[in-house]
Amino acid sequence: MPLEPKTPAPTVAVEDYAKAIYALSHDGRDAVATTALAERLDVTPASASAMVKRLDEMGLARHAPYHGVELTDRGLQLALEVIRHHRLLELYLAESLGVPWDRVHDEAEVLEHVLSEELEELIAVKLGDPERDPHGDPIPSRDLEIVELPTDTLASLEPGARGRFVRISDSDPHMLRYLAERGIAPGADFEIVDKQPFGGPSFARFGDAVHVLGGELASRMRVEVER
Amino acid sequence: MPLEPKTPAPTVAVEDYAKAIYALSHDGRDAVATTALAERLDVTPASASAMVKRLDEMGLARHAPYHGVELTDRGLQLALEVIRHHRLLELYLAESLGVPWDRVHDEAEVLEHVLSEELEELIAVKLGDPERDPHGDPIPSRDLEIVELPTDTLASLEPGARGRFVRISDSDPHMLRYLAERGIAPGADFEIVDKQPFGGPSFARFGDAVHVLGGELASRMRVEVER
DNA sequence: GTTCAAAGTTAGGCATGCCATAATTTCGGC
DNA sequence: GCCGAAATTATGGCATGCCTAACTTTGAAC
Ligand SMILES: [Mn+2]
Ligand SMILES: [Mn+2]
Ligand SMILES: [Mn+2]
Ligand SMILES: [Mn+2]
């Protein structure tokens, strides 16, 4: 029987490009600009352009020259697979090994490319097939379905509004540590007590304590509003 | 202040060469033949020769052309560091994630090169600073001390001898699975019941059951003899 | 002491992978 | 249609790590 063309295992860089395209198109299906990709991955546009061409040849993306890239089905699968690895690892490291939540991201960023399917499965089972990572990001299911719920930012709420803090970017350790020190984590209910205009801080009550959340921070905290 | 020469992080290949030199010299301090290294790593002698030259230039090994390689202090540290990672990971995967002991080796072989110092430490603490991995191999301590106790092979024992099975190579999954199926693991006490000559099998009683251990297998099972 | 096979090294290449700079092309709004 | 921004191509660099073929060295046998 003739050997199949046998796709070589994707490299770390290829996986990172797939993830980046997914993140920038926000569901992997919209076209992403080369420049945006280059900026996110901290390479020159020329490098991103070349790499995108390779992803296309590999069947992971469709590249319409001068009009952006989007992931193919296979590319989307790859991105979601790596994201599943990443988020499962983050949660696992936090829960089982006690790694502080502001540091799980960097560890997962490396391990995600190396985790075997067998370990992925064992971890998922051990964690009880979790739906969210420590930062509130949804974890793609075993069959790579992912549900991205639309959210508001805490900064957009006016005094009197109540809601639940559900999600925050995992990439800024300082913000995460700041929140951790105050015991604020995704899942926490709050009420807006006061708010200053023009990017000023929001004052939010979590439990008994009122916290001051700077405009920058408040605009990165994603919330579900209670209606 | 002038920048230090700043050693680049060792690559996976470099780490594997250091480990191999350590294993072949059996304490990292005896000269190892290029050919032996090449065979173990499954590359040509020419490739091993070139690589050994690089390790020398990196200060990880001393290469006396035509007379073998040995590790420098730094090379020995590197080898032991990676071995510590490997063995801690094997034990961790077996204990905490339930990976069968015939499969932990391959997983650890990859992860050992990627494990951060922080995770290494958390794992070590979680396991209670263990001294041996699931195959009975000693785990280098935090400060990279390692104790390799001399052992006999089970095959060398005559009927009537008693002892404890303490160690077996982690690299042959079939042997490991065979032993696992029979409930035989390092730490188990036994007595030799019978033995056939010329590489024939040994018959050993572990607990209540007598097991037949082929010559090949019996010669790879390391034991401490009760005197 | 010579010889000669085995062990080891060097020379020269090749493949992969990823990125950079510089020059050029294309696009799309005006 | 012009023109600046966006993107692409053209080239090349560099790191890694492997190979084959040709050469050198070693050391043991005689
Ligand atoms: Mn997976
Ligand atoms: Mn996360
Ligand atoms: Mn270490
Ligand atoms: Mn082992």
CA of B60 to the centre of ligand 3 (A): 17
Separation CA A44–CA B108 (nearest Å): 36
The one-letter amino acid at A122: L
CA of B84 to the centre of ligand 2 (A): 29
CB atoms within 10 A of CB B117: 9
The answer to whether A83 CB is within 7 Å of strand C is no
**A9 Cα to chain B: minimum distance (Å):** 15
The answer to whether B21 CB is within 7 Å of strand C is no
Per-residue tokens: B107: 């997983």
Residue range B39-57: average pLDDT? Answer: 98
CB B120 within 8 A of CB B108: no
Average pLDDT, chain B: 95
pLDDT bucket at A27, cuts 50 / 70 / 90 = confident
Q: What CATH number should be reported for the domain whose range is B152-225?
A: 2.30.30.90
pLDDT in tens, A175-224: 999 999 999 999 999 999 999 988 889 999 999 999 999 999 999 999 99
The answer to whether A65 CB is within 7 Å of strand D is yes
The answer to whether A13 CB is within 7 Å of strand D is no
The one-letter amino acid at A211: H
Task: Tell me, yes or no, if B93 comes closer than 8 A to chain A by beta carbon.
Answer: yes
pLDDT in tens, B67-111: 999 999 999 999 999 999 999 999 999 999 999 999 999 999 999
Residues 18-37 of A with CB under 8 A from B: none
In our burial notation (b when 16+ CB lie closer than 10 A, e otherwise), range B68-94 reads: bbbbbeebbbbbbbbbbbbbbbbbbbb
Separation CA B198–CA B200 (nearest Å): 5
The answer to whether A100 CB is within 7 Å of strand D is no
Give pLDDT, residue A117. Answer: 97
pLDDT in tens, B155-198: 999 999 999 999 999 989 999 999 999 999 999 999 999 999 88
Q: Cβ–Cβ of B93/A126 closer than 8 Å? A: no
Of the candidates B110, B111, B119, which has its C-beta nearest A97's C-beta?
B119
Per DSSP, B140 falls in state P
pLDDT bucket at A6, cuts 50 / 70 / 90 = low
pLDDT bucket at A2, cuts 50 / 70 / 90 = very low
Give pLDDT, residue B1. Answer: 46
Task: Tell me, yes or no, if A98 comes closer than 8 A to chain B by beta carbon.
Answer: yes
In sequence order, the 6+-apart residues with CB closer than 8 A to the CB of B11 are none
The answer to whether B49 CB is within 7 Å of strand C is yes
Q: Cβ–Cβ of A107/B99 closer than 8 Å? A: no
Which residues of A fall within a CB distance of 8 Å from B126? 97
In chain A, beta strands by DSSP E: 61-63, 69-71, 152-153, 162-167, 189-195, 202-206, 209-213, 222-225
Rounded, the Å distance between the CA of A36 and C1' of D9 is: 20
Rounded, the Å distance between the CA of B61 and C1' of C12 is: 26
Q: Cβ–Cβ of A98/B122 closer than 8 Å? A: yes
Domain assignments of chain A as residue spans, ordered by start: 12-71, 152-225
pLDDT in tens, A148-184: 999 999 999 999 999 999 999 998 999 999 999 999 9
CA of B119 to the centre of ligand 2 (A): 18
pLDDT bucket at A26, cuts 50 / 70 / 90 = confident
Per DSSP, A8 falls in state P
For the entire predicted model, the pTM comes to: 0.93
Q: Rg of chain B over CA atoms, in angstroms? A: 20
Q: Which backbone phi and psi does A153 adopt, to 5 degrees? A: -95, 150
From the alpha carbon of B41, which nucleotide's C1' atom is closest?
Answer: D18
In sequence order, the 6+-apart residues with CB closer than 8 A to the CB of A53 are A63
Task: Tell me, yes or no, if B197 comes closer than 8 A to chain A by beta carbon.
Answer: no
Give pLDDT, residue B98. Answer: 97
For chain B, give the percent of residues with pLDDT over 70. 97
The answer to whether A66 CB is within 7 Å of strand D is yes
Shortest CA distance to A88 belongs to which of A56, A55, A127, A49?
A: A127
pLDDT in tens, A45-104: 999 999 999 999 999 999 999 999 999 999 999 999 999 999 999 999 999 999 999 999
Task: Tell me, yes or no, if A154 comes closer than 8 A to chain B by beta carbon.
Answer: no
pLDDT in tens, A91-135: 999 999 999 999 999 999 999 999 999 999 999 999 999 999 999
Q: Cβ–Cβ of A99/B114 closer than 8 Å? A: no
Give the H/E segment covering residue B198: none
Topology at the third CATH level for domain A12-71: Arc Repressor Mutant, subunit A (1.10.10)
Which residues of A fall within a CB distance of 8 Å from B109? none
Task: Tell me, yes or no, if B107 comes closer than 8 A to chain A by beta carbon.
Answer: yes
Residue range B14-20: average pLDDT? Answer: 98
CB atoms within 10 A of CB B36: 16
- The neighbouring-strand residues paired with A154 are none
**A97 Cα to chain B: minimum distance (Å):** 6
For chain B, give the percent of residues with pLDDT over 90. 91
Give the H/E segment covering residue A27: none
CB atoms within 10 A of CB B189: 14
